[in-house]
Chain A
Amino acid sequence: MSGIDLKRFHRTFFEESFEGLDAMEAALLRLDPAAADAETINSIFRAAHSIKGGAGTFGFTDVARFTHVLETLLDAVRAGKHQLTVEDVDCLLRSSDMVRGLLKAAQDETPADNVSADALAAELSQRLAGPQAAASVAAPAAASAAASSAGWQVLFEPKPELFLSGNDPLRILRELQSLGDCEVRCRETQLPTLAEADAERCYLAWELSVRAAVKRERIAELFAWVDEECRLEITPLAAAAPAPEAKPAAPAAAAPAAPAAPAAPAAGTNVTPMAVARKPGEGADAKSDAAASIRVATGKIDAMINLVGELVITQAMLQQLANRLDPVHNEALLQGLSLLDRNTRMLQEAVMSTRMLQVDAVFSRFPRLVRDLAGKLGKQVRLQLIGENTELDKTVIEKISDPLTHLVRNSLDHGLESTEERLAAGKDSTGQLTLRAAHQGGHILIEVIDDGRGLNRQRILAKAAERGLPADPNMSDADVFQLIFAPGFSTAAEVTEVSGRGVGMDVVKRNIQALGGSVELSSEQGRGTTVLIRLPLTLAILDGMSVAIGDEVYIIPLSAVIESMQPHENQVKTIAGQSTVLRVRNDYLPLVDLRDLFGLSGERRNPCEAIVVIIEAEGRKVALQIDELVGQQQVVIKSLDRNYRRVRGVSGATILGDGRVSLILDVAAIVRLFGQAMAA
């Protein structure tokens, strides 16, 4: 009839269902079964309810079937008919995983694991029912199910207040007529005089003969919305005598399910107490904003960001051209351009902000993870999340998830001690793990803080020596801790079930650096460890210093630039007649000519006639020799390896005001490259 393909709504359904599950899980983890607050229970119920409704509508029967059972239990909890236990919450958490699995299967059009789903559904029903038998569903009184071949005699006598429910008797009469031939007689006996009549009340009643071979239910159904607001008699046409009071089968009053005996209290079970402390107010504000948002495909946002990037370039190009104009004769034009400059920047900022997500998008997975891991390890852990509404770029959020998970696992597994150990050390038996996010300048800082045993300097040094890593007993604590990030430091020997295998801290560090970030460790023995991750807010734009070598212009990320200078002769020294170093105050820094590094043609300059930019990454500094400083500008980062491959020492490219491509230096790679060259 309408020919609407429901497929067009599937994507939204899956997205909102997965979000609903996340919310459900978060609420379950927050939940204190003994003192569950109504709104939390309600929000859990609503999530299940929405998924069920959508799944039914969009034809995902496996999802709908399982969610129905889940919803039934939650409804009983909501209505106070079932008292939640700690085991119930575990079962509900598993159920949310199950729904997620079923949804994924539906989304990927792969077969669902109905065996597990049915088993879990049975467990849910069991929990609801307790030992008692399931209340038998009252079969609808089917006494008069037979179709009357002749038709039906209907008496329809609305109560005067029928209109107040928005119902219109004419609608019902029209629908009756659509069933077959109708003979309608209107009874006006109740009609008062015009003076007494109230236009808002219904005084009419109808007697109808419907000549249609339909079941009685078909007739009754049409009156379902008004069955409490009218007197209704439906009798077979043949038997003209109206049967006394034959109301449509009112559903047998559902026997109120006897309150399920609360499942035996969780006495003596080894459930690890876990609480998620949130700063009051945080997170809640964000939720209420959700309604005022719309869902946009990331592709559209990226296209917009690209276009704004182009606009910034065009604007810069105009600005360059304008700089050659006589400011007196072109005052109005120049003014317009400076306005354009400001508006462009504001537009760019506004567009970039659309890609920003709250860090809660990653943090929210940790309550569950920590709960599960703590249970597995038999440790007591309290997780605190701080600054979850700190915003950062969606891509950064997606890429930080794995490294962060690894760090959290590490803290739980190696950092926090067992309950006995903690008590013996005079500490609170419950370990504290804190995830904190905050903005600092153009960066976001994420900290993973535990109050565990801390790093053991001696053991790290011993292990580093064992692994053949450069270790020196006189190294500073910071340097010793950095050894943990060295490739090959963590090996299969200490792989545990929790920390997993294969991914070492070196990978964590590499992933964070690939995002333009850094990671630092600080620790106090017996007091705990803090991992500090510093990340750029966005990967799309960079504050750059443009430098020239001959005709070529390169961009150095401003965040990596310490200073630039024209060296004096007495600052430049050679070592073993080969490597050149630059003395800056009391440091000797390797001096690299970018021309050599990139194999550029053109005459080499004496460092004292060139400019040197001191760059820093990973705690190491290098002096980079260039011809000229061009200026500072914000650049839009373009991928070089989308159509080409990655290039050593180059992290990407950008487009300059004149339309030319300029390469962006990969400072970390250059520092590393040069460090190796020096070591060799």
Chain B
Amino acid sequence: MLTLECPYCGLMADETELSPGYEAHLKRFGPASSPEEFEAYMFARKNPKGVHFERWRHSYGCGKWFLAARCTATLEVFGTYPAQVGEPPADIIAKIQARRPEWKAGWQPDGKDTK
């Protein structure tokens, strides 16, 4: 069973007390955007086989939304962090790079920030 540490209440939460929220760090587009931008925001998910950043909610605990860095190919969890950030914290990036040296940093849906 997937177990994530809630960065707010500090509990190790089992999957059964969490609700998944899929891809994190999405840039939101509203009614004034182009159809292409809105479609990409709504539907075109990164869906990577490997390192992925996700939203989760500790719904049967403290109720807070948080973010997690996880590997979709092995189910390894790299770490969790609060949701009020624009990009993953440096320590999470360092942890991922230590475990996945071939990983190219990138978490924006359009991949334009890939370094």
Do these two chains really belong together in a complex?
A: no
